[in-house]
Structure 1
Amino acid sequence: MTHKSRKDSEPLSKEKFGLISIESKSPETAVLLLNSPEEDVVVRACEAIFTFAEKGDENKVSLLGPGALDPLIRLLSHASRAVRRGAVTALGSMAVNSDVKKALRKFNAIPSLLLKLSPEEETVVHEFATLCLSHLSKDFTCKAQIFDGDGLPPLIQLLSSPDPDVQKNSVEVIYNLVQDYKSRLAFHELGGIPSLLELLRSDFPVIQHLALRTLQSVTTDPDSRHTFREQQGFERLMDVLSNADFHDLHAEALQTLSNCLSDSQTVKLVHKSRGVARLVQFLQTPNAPDVQSAAVDCLTKVAQSPESLRLLHEEEIEKVLAELLSVEDVSVKTSACQAVAAMSFHPDSKDVFRDLGVVPTLTQLLRRDSLKLRAAATRALCGLSHGDPLNALSIFNTGGHELLVRQLYETCPKTVASSAATLHNMAAQEAVRSSILSHGAMRALAETLRSKDTAVLLSSSLCVAELACEEDARAELRRAGGLEALVRLLHSQHQELLKNACFAVKVCAGDEPSAVEMCRLGALEVLQEMTRSERHRNAFSELALNSLLKSNLSVKYSLTGRLAATDIITSGFYDPGKARTGHRVLTLEELIEQPLNQHRPVFAVFTGTGQRNDESADDGVLQMLIKEAKENVVPLTTEKEQYAALARLVSEAMGGARAEDHLHEFPWTLHLSELKFHLQSNVVPIGSIRKGIYCHRALLFKCLSDCIGLSCSLVRGDYNRAWNEVVLFDEDPSNTQRTPRRSRFILDLMHEPGRLLGVDTPAALQYQTI
């Protein structure tokens, strides 16, 4: 394409300026003549400036010194057509240079240039005005000026110009503009798509390329895709793709088709027109990686429904993709990985990919430098290993688990999310899980749980839940600060993430240290609130709450006032009293650190046999009571006798039997105050209490029962009341046909130690209340 309407001038030497009527040989003089009142002089000056500028960038820049731009921009509005034509051609020629473009922005030339797009102007004016705008529109600020100046409507009109140069420049400006969301929407609303489709019929490849590139950008919008389809855009693309002479357009046509395939209606059109077979042909195009890559992207979009997956499987697309994974071009490899990920939703395809050795190939791609390739390969491995133990094992056997753990430290969220998800898929197998943990997976996941990316958090929390079934894994996560990040996720407003976080908390609460730490971090209060909320409650919130309480019996007793027979007290248990609404239950360590106060003591159990290594008090008396219970209570023949004997042992250890009407004479409060002062601590070991009433005796009885294998519950009442409930079976040895009767009793530890009080009887109720 050449410029049409200007007269060719005699070539000038680089050193000399074109001769004008006054025989000037300098650009400075020509610039001065732009201000002449004589139209003919101005026109000749513009033509001379144009000719001079056409000779190269050095000449274009040299025109800035004398100040050529300001008068040329003013002349765009001149009454004379010839002057306007001369000014716009000169500016269009100069605007190619980057320094000139910067200067044009300062002179605010765009409004004047947009006025030159009107239908009344000559074709040559349209040509050079759009040429100038095509260069300026590459700048963000200039794009905004063109859009705000209503430049799109005349540009769309000029797409139908009979002049190919005008078409080419206009579509280039539009292409630059529609990179921005607002311009894309406006272009569609202004009805620009039909004009673009017409340009696909152009005789000039450069116009066809620009039209396709513009369509590729525009069709990222759903409404534009709908219009594109209604205007037979799909058929136009297929015409291009079916024409071997248009091979240079195939890559861009496929990229546009890939956008359109985001809509199910276009996918149906592909199936209806046997387009899948055509796409497969493009996959095998030799020495055309851009075409292959775009064709694979299209197939990936097609593979979004079970029916499409079945059809692609019948076309044996897996074999083609396996071959593409071995080509040299990185973009083709990347697209092939994405297609494998899409095809992995078809169960039969997973088996075929495994048989073709695709899993080891993908694993090796995790070692490549390309971030996009690694991300795509990881996603493919994630899909292939989901619900498929054999593929998961194949990743493990090729060392993929170690590479995936490393990738948890990547900066790309997609890679991190897919890596964590793949590790989750693999960790269901115990041997694989242990190896994953040996490479520091929990330390890495502790970092990913701090991510701000939702996909990363979703997969990381699930992976933590899968790995945390191992006690060592929970300890590593705890040391790495992962529990704090996990508890923070309980505040999420994302329902799926909230469910995953609750699931992970449930698993992580499998040991006391982790449960205590999460309670310290506020997990208990959040979960309590969650279970009361219709909106936030989920399938795992209550399970997580129960799991926390089960592993932290001290908090459970403080909150609920009850320990079941299956809740076994161990060393380190403490009774801080009934929890106050809105206040967190402090840990034993925090309570020990508090200065001496006037409040009720905290009663702690130190048996010397637990797993805690931070005990600050040695309860030798309790250990002697445990020894005595094992020697004197355990050997008794019936549970009834054992309960009675243990009750008497507890009573004797805490001041003996006391009549209820003389209980006010029992100096237990003074005794506890003296103990606190003696220990200089608010935490009192349960064995050190020599004068105890209901709550102290019930706790000691529960502790001793759990230590020797007897079954009993612990229930807190009001006003320092607490009691133990036991279950006995009444069997008649002479009647083998009768089912043993199950009876529940409360043990009297205070007034008649060892007496069994039937639950809900007046005697039991009197024991439980004042």
Structure 2
Amino acid sequence: MGKKVKKESETPCKETFEPLPVEGKTPATVVLLLSSPEEDILVKACEAIHAFAEKGDENKVSVLGLGALAPLCHLINHNNKLVRRNAVMALGIMATNSDVKNALKKLDVIPSIIDKLSLEEDVVVHEFATLCLASLSVDFICKVQIFDNKGLPPLIQLLSSPDPDVQKNSIEIIFNLVQDYQSRLAVHELGGIPPLLELLKSDFPVIQHLALKTLQNVTTDKDTRIAFRDEQGFEKLMDILSNTDLSDLNAEALQVVANCLSDSESFQLIHKGGGLTRLMEFILTPNVSEIQSNAVKCIAKVAQSSENRKLLHEENVEKVLVELLSVADVSVKTATCQAVDAMSFHLASKDSFRDLGGIPAVVQLLNDESLVLKEAATQALSNLTHSNQLNTFAVYEAGGHEILVQQLYGSCPRTVANSAATLGIMAGQEVIRCSILSHGAVQALVEPLKSTNTQVLVNTTQCLAVLACDAEARAELQSAGGLQPLVNLLHSYHKEVLHNVCLAISVCASNEPTAVEMCKFGALEMLQEINQSVNRRSSFSELALISLLNSNLSVKYSLTSHLASSDIISDGFYDAGKARPGQKILTLEELSKQPVNQHQPIIVVNTAAEEAVDVPEERQSNPPETDTSKGDCRTPRKKKGDDKQKDETQPESPTEKPWKMMDDVSLQLLVKEAKKSILPLSDERGQYAVLARLVSEAMGGAVEMEKLHEFPWVLHLSELKFQLQSNVVPIGLIRRGIYCHRALLFKCLVDSIGMSCTLVRGEYNRAWNEVLLLSGNPSSNGRSSQPCCYIVDLMHQPGSLLKANTSAAVQYQTI
């Protein structure tokens, strides 16, 4: 056996692993590598994802679907600078896809990205971090998160970055943020104006445009405008406008200029520095039409302030604008009309435009095919003529009123509204109004009355109220079918529309046929309803109702139970009894066509003689024959054969004969008798007393108070209705009348012979007349005493004058 030998101790081997080059052949493999603990692998994985995602949106969505977004958001905070940079690059390029952007909004990654804007990070990190934020900042919630996480200060710092991509991304984010008020203020407070102005010198147009758009937003704030002015911002903008190589920036630059000039303080300082003069020179310099148009829009915006208008007037801006009215480009002329409109709020400017020949130039633009230009031109004319009579005549002399009438047929609501407003102003002059009417203005206004546009309705009704003061215009409005749409507008709840409609109705109501027609369309009922409303009632609606009633005394008496001494009864007046508020009152023609009923008759007044028939002398001197067996009705008897002869001589017409009021020969004779017996009397009291007795005798004589119930007036009127086969009874046929019939006849005769009295309806068929008479004896100082009101007794002691409010008068008026 061999001798045992002690083994030497074995030393442990050190585990070593040779570096293994990693190749990821699929995106899924690379995404898995994002979870590796090894920094080199992480660097390469992030780099690979960036390169893959950069190739297109499909790749970005693919990587998103493989779950790369969460690890990348984690890796942008890695301690390794290279890992951090590549992760930011991958995340920034992926965020340009909308699906990725929506996914990022749920991961609360914005605070981490903002941290990467630190100046300690390299420019590549800045570029892709800002690229990521630029994509996210279009979303409102993300904008709030960027602001709340203090993203603006580092972004403003990065505006001065040497890398143009960083500048572009940073200014884009800031532009998105300043759409909100709090960010606009913060940009100024954080010193953002100087670097923004510096970017205007950039070699890259996209950066310049974004800088100007951002300045356009922030300079809407007054404090920001002060800082902008202190940094010579306006001068830098004018330098851009004067540089022909930078013409592509003019539109945005002019928007900022307009903001700078909007408040009076800035405007005056710029004006003192010669900035306004430079702007005027720029506007007149032949340039691209779009730029010239924007420049004039700038003037229009500046002219919104009264102080600015005064300074612009001192710079003779009117001369510049009048010259631009003749340029070829429509957009320039449109902008110029808008500027003329704005400047016309300055009274001196209105005169300047007229003296420089601007008004005919604006009128000429009404013939242009452009609807936008027509709208601007009509608006300018409306303002130019407002409160300026000379300008009104200048438009008239240029033939503007004729063209404006045609514009009322246009399809653009604003053009129609402006045209109606201008015509309404011009129609205030008698000569011009006649000419406007001769060109068919009333007919042209009918269709706009049916518009749903509030401003069209306001201006159209206002214009109509001025034009309708002419009788022919009212008749034309009625024949053109304009009354119904006008009345329909009483349903409007717009205050100004309703006021103007009521005003137009009150003007139109001065013509009785027009008033009657409007009542047919329900104007009366609607006005009553309006005047009972706390919110809709106004002095205009009250005036319209009064005017309507004054032109339709039958309706007035029916509704109010009172006719003043100035309300003169004429032929066609009828008493249909007291109407309830809101009740539709039928016309006399409608009432006459109703079948005979049990109600009290409608009493009608008609003193006109039939034109086609000569009244024989014997008929004029003697009352017509009466049939005493038929209730003593004074209707002339028909002679045998009259009907047959009428049928033979006048064959039936296939069309319905027009309705005609029944003749009242008896009333004609009463009027003649009243004139003959009353007018020669010199004593006014005696005139009323004699006339009262004449009325009493015609209607059955005196009736004792105690025997009033025996007076057969009800039976008599029923027999008249039966004989006439009508509910409408001429007042001259009534031989048994009481208070209401006698008071109406008295009023009718008084008005016919030129005297004066009222007609008042009481309760239970009572009615009376009031007259004003002097008490007779002069007072101690030699002056005549005040006139007193008397009630005329027509029933019990005909001719007695009862002093108002005495017991005798009250007894006569009440049961």
Q: Is 2:758 aligned against 1:713?
A: yes
CA drift of 1:186 comes to: 5.4
* Range 504-513 or range 407-416, more displaced: 407-416
2:505 counterpart residue number: 505
- Of the three residues 695, 709, 712, the one matched with 2:740 is 695
Whether the 8 Å CA contact 1:196–1:211 is kept in 2: the answer is no
- Contact residue 461 and residue 501 of structure 2 kept, 8 A: yes
Q: Which residue of 1 aligns with 2:564?
A: 564
Q: CA deviation at 1:323?
A: 0.8
Matching of residues 541-690 of structure 1 within 5 Å = 541-581=541-581, 600-606=600-606, 618-621=661-664, 623-630=665-672, 633-634=675-676, 636-638=679-681, 640=684, 643-644=688-689, 646-673=691-718, 684-690=729-735
Which letter does structure 2 place at the counterpart of 1:226?
K
2-side partners of 1:428 and 1:609: how far apart? 41
Which amino acid in structure 2 is aligned with residue 625 of structure 1?
L
Looking at structure 2, the residues matched to 95 and 406 of structure 1 have their Cα atoms a distance apart, in angstroms, of 58
Structure 1 or 2, whichever has the larger Rg, is: 2
Alignment counterpart, residue 201 of structure 1, candidates 191, 198, 203: 198
Equivalent position of 2:531 in the other structure: 528
1:272-318 residue CA offsets vs partner (Å, 9 max, x unmatched): 54543333233223314455444433433444565544443332221
Name the CA distance, whole Å, in 2 between partners of 1:657 and 1:699: 17
Name the CA shift for 1:702/1:526 in 2 (closer, same or farther; >3 Å): same
Show the counterpart of 1:284: 284
Which residue matches 1:341?
A: 341
Rounded Cα–Cα distance in structure 1 between residues aligned with 2:698 and 2:60: 104
Aligned to 1:325: 325
Indicate how the Cα distance of structure 1 residues 462 and 588 shifts in structure 2: closer, same or farther if over 3 A, else same: same
Counterpart contact for 1:46–1:90, Cα < 8 Å: yes
Q: 1:672 to 1:257 in 2, by over 3 A?
A: farther
Structure 1 residues 65 and 497: CA distance shift in structure 2, 3 A: closer
Which of 69, 73, 79 aligns to 1:77? It is: 73
Q: Which residue of 2 aligns with 1:14?
A: none
Q: What's 2:652 paired with?
A: none
CA contact (8 A) 1:240 1:246 kept: no
Matches of 2:688 and 2:350, distance apart in 1:
62
Deviation at 1:617, TM superposition (A): 6.2
Please give the root-mean-square deviation of Cα atoms over the aligned residues, in Å.
4.2
Structure-2 residue corresponding to 1:376: 376
Q: Is 1:240 aligned to residue 236 of structure 2?
A: yes
| Alpha-carbon spacing, 1:228–1:416, altered in 2? closer, same or farther (3 Å) | farther
Q: Is the 8 A contact 1:646 1:701 kept in 2?
A: yes
State how 1:102-121 maps to structure 2 within 5 Å.
103-104=99-100, 107=103, 114-115=110-111, 117-120=113-116
Q: Tell me how far apart the structure 2 counterparts of residues 580 and 410 of structure 1 sit (CA, whole Å).
A: 44
TM-score normalised to the size of structure 2?
0.75
The verdict on how the C-alpha distance between 1:570 and 1:251 changes in structure 2, with shifts beyond 3 A counting, is: same
> Once the 2 structures are TM-superposed, how far is the Cα of residue 124 of structure 1 from its aligned partner?
3.5
| Residue-by-residue CA offset, 1:84-119 (whole Å, 9 max, x unaligned) | 6546545655666xxx53x44664657566345322
- Give 1:395 deviation, angstroms: 2.5
CA contact (8 A) 1:353 1:359 kept: yes
Give the C-alpha shift of residue 556 in structure 1. Answer: 2.6
Distance apart, 1:328 and its partner CA: 3.0
1:174–1:72 CA distance, 2 compared to 1 (3 A) = farther
Residue type of the partner of 1:227?
A: D
The Cα offsets for residues 162-210 of structure 1, whole Å up to 9 and x where unpaired, read as 434334223324434555xxx3355436867742553112242543432
In the alignment, the residues of structure 2 paired with residue 119 and residue 609 of structure 1 have an alpha-carbon distance, to the nearest angstrom, of 105
CA displacement at 1:716 relative to structure 2: 2.0
Match of 1:751 among 796, 799, 802: 796
Within the candidate set 483, 487, 501, 2:486 is matched to 483
Q: 1: CA distance between counterparts of 2:91 and 2:367?
A: 52
- Looking at structure 1, the residues matched to 230 and 558 of structure 2 have their Cα atoms a distance apart, in angstroms, of 69
Partner of 1:144: 140
Bigger drift between 636-645 and 319-328 goes to 636-645
CA contact (8 A) 2:184 2:217 kept: no
Structure 2 match to 1:34: 31
| Per-residue CA distance 1:309-350 (angstroms, 9 max, x = gap) | 444333222111111112233333222212212222333332
Contact 1:606 1:617 in 2 (8 A): no
Change (3 A) 1:597 1:200: farther
Kept in 2: contact 1:254–1:294 (CA 8 A): yes
Q: Give, in whole Å, the separation in 1 of the partners of 2:556 and 2:567.
A: 10
Paired AA for residue 680 in structure 2: T
Does the residue aligned with 1:715 lie in a helix, a strand or coil? strand
User: Residue in 1 aligned with 2:357?
Assistant: 357
2:227 alignment counterpart: 231
In 2: Cα distance, 1:447 partner to 1:704 partner:
45
- Shift of the 90–434 alpha-carbon distance from structure 1 to 2, 3 Å rule, reads farther
Task: Rate the CA distance shift 1:546–1:394 in 2: closer, same or farther, 3 A.
Answer: same
Shift of 1:625: 0.9
Go from structure 1 to structure 2 and tell me whether the alpha carbon gap of 1:263 and 1:554 turns closer, same or farther (over 3 Å shift): farther
Q: Aligned partners of 2:729, 2:29: CA distance in 1, in Å?
A: 101
Deviations 1:22-43 (A, max 9, x none): 385xxxx346533434565665
2:271, 2:277 within 8 Å by CA — same for their partners in 1?
A: no
Q: CA deviation at 1:132?
A: 4.8
Contact 2:426-2:433 at 8 Å conserved across structures: yes
CA distance in 2, matches of 1:53, 1:291: 41
Cα shift readout 1:118-176 (whole Å, capped 9, x = no counterpart)? 22465534533543554566xxxx63342464567555231322434334223324434
Aligned counterpart, 1:387: 387
Q: What is the distance in 2 between the residues matched to 1:614 and 1:560?
A: 34
Report the AA paired with residue 543 of structure 1.
L
Structure 1 residues 400, 174: closer, same or farther in 2, change over 3 A? farther
Aligned-partner SS, 2:198: coil
What is the distance in 2 between the residues matched to 1:135 and 1:571?
84
1:89 to 1:390, Cα distance in 2 relative to 1, 3 A: same
* Residue-by-residue CA offset, 1:712-768 (whole Å, 9 max, x unaligned): 321223332212234567999xxxx99799665443322344444455565544433
Query: 2:714 is aligned with what amino acid?
Result: T
Query: For 2:345, what is the secondary structure of its paired residue?
Result: coil
Please state whether the residue corresponding to 1:620 is helix, strand or coil.
coil
> Quick one: distance in 2 between partners of 1:84 and 1:604?
104
Tell me, yes or no, if the aligned pair for 1:127 and 1:169 is still in contact at 8 Å: yes
Deviation, 1:665, is: 0.4
Q: Give the structure-1-normalised TM-score.
A: 0.79
Q: Which residue number in structure 1 is paired with residue 417 of structure 2?
A: 417
C-alpha deviation, 1:458, in angstroms: 3.4
For residues 648-669 of structure 1, what are the alpha-carbon distances to aligned partners after superposition, in whole Å with 9 as ceiling and x for unaligned? 4433443333222211101223
Q: Deviations over 1:545-586 (max 9, x none)?
A: 432332232333234332122212234433343443565656
Distance of 2:46 and 2:405 partners within structure 1: 67
Q: Percent identity?
A: 51
Distance 1:104 1:571, change over 3 A: farther
Residue 213 of structure 1 and its aligned partner are, at CA, apart by 1.4
Partners of 2:271 and 2:192 lie apart in 1 by 27
Flag the 1:132–1:118 CA change in 2: closer, same or farther, 3 A: closer
Distance in 1 of aligned mates of 2:189 and 2:396: 53
Contact 2:188–2:227 at 8 Å: present in 1 too?
no
How far did residue 21 of structure 1 move?
5.8
The equivalent residue for 1:22 is: 23
**Residues in 1 aligned to 2:793 and 2:669: alpha-carbon distance in whole angstroms:** 22
For 1:127 and 1:273, how far apart are their aligned partners in 2?
40
Q: Distance in 2 between matches of 1:418 and 1:110?
A: 52
Residue deviations 1:589-617 (CA, integer Å, cap 9, x gap): 6766777766555444455699xx99956
